[in-house]
Amino acid sequence: MTTVIECHPLVAAKPEVPKSTTVNGVDTGKLSATIEAIKADTSLANFQFRLSNQWVGGGENRSRIDDFYGVGQEMRHKQPFFLVSDEPEVLLSEDRGPNAGEYVLHALASCLTGALVYHAAARGIAVKGIATRLEGDIDLQGFLGLSKDVRRGFKNIRVMFDIDADCDDSGKQELIEMAQAYSPVFDMLSNGLPVSCRLDDDVKKAETT
């Protein structure tokens, strides 16, 4: 967590970088510089994340994650990431990866944890450990189209946090509330968002293995 990023664009945008202190593995100097740079030019906060997916067969499909847009420029991950989805045998496939619902739970766990850690760091609150357990309930009559009264997705998701930090339960509860207040995925799942789908024969078929 102490790697110096020579060309960090947000830090570069602000000549005077505050003295760095690492809290929760987050460089709070760079975090402050990021916030100041965005306050000075809000367009730097516009990011676009992207993904290419290919169907393999049955319930299996694979994604490649590589480039994204942020801080006013095209960017790229250190290396491409590959993700495999599948369904278990009871749902008629080969069980070669987690299913889409389990990926939703992972996205939510990651995002709540990240939001908690970053916002605690910004406030100088040291967190020693976070473990979460998530459960999502779904009635597959919805997916199968057997009932119009049953929704397709999870009916609800429960997140249980075990937090190791030098504060009492009331303080830990505040950390959880902070995570909920700032987590992008918590917002998306709680409030929904516009999702548009269209046919486009020009989709570039990316290598997904």
Residue 12 binds a copy of itself, judged by CB under 8 A: no
Q: Name the region of 51 (left: φ>0; alpha: ψ -120 to 50; beta: rest).
A: beta
Q: Is 27 strand, coil or helix? A: strand
40, 41, 124, 155: which one binds a copy of itself (CB under 8 A): 155
Q: What residues between 32 and 91 interact with a copy of itself by CB under 8 A?
A: 34-35, 38-39, 42, 45-55, 57-61, 63, 65, 68, 70-71, 75, 77-78, 81, 83, 85, 87-91
How open is the CA angle 51-9-53, to the nearest 5 degrees?
5
Residue 14 binds a copy of itself, judged by CB under 8 A: no
- Nearest CA to 85 out of 57, 53, 62, 109 is that of 62
18, 41, 151, 207: which one binds a copy of itself (CB under 8 A): 151
CA dihedral 198, 199, 205, 208 (to 10 degrees): 50
Contact at 8 Å (CB) between 44 and 10? yes
Q: What residues between 84 and 123 interact with a copy of itself by CB under 8 A?
A: 85, 87-95, 97-115, 117-119
Nearer to a copy of itself, 15 or 42 (CB): 42
Q: What residues between 159 and 178 interact with a copy of itself by CB under 8 A?
A: 159-163, 169, 172-173, 176
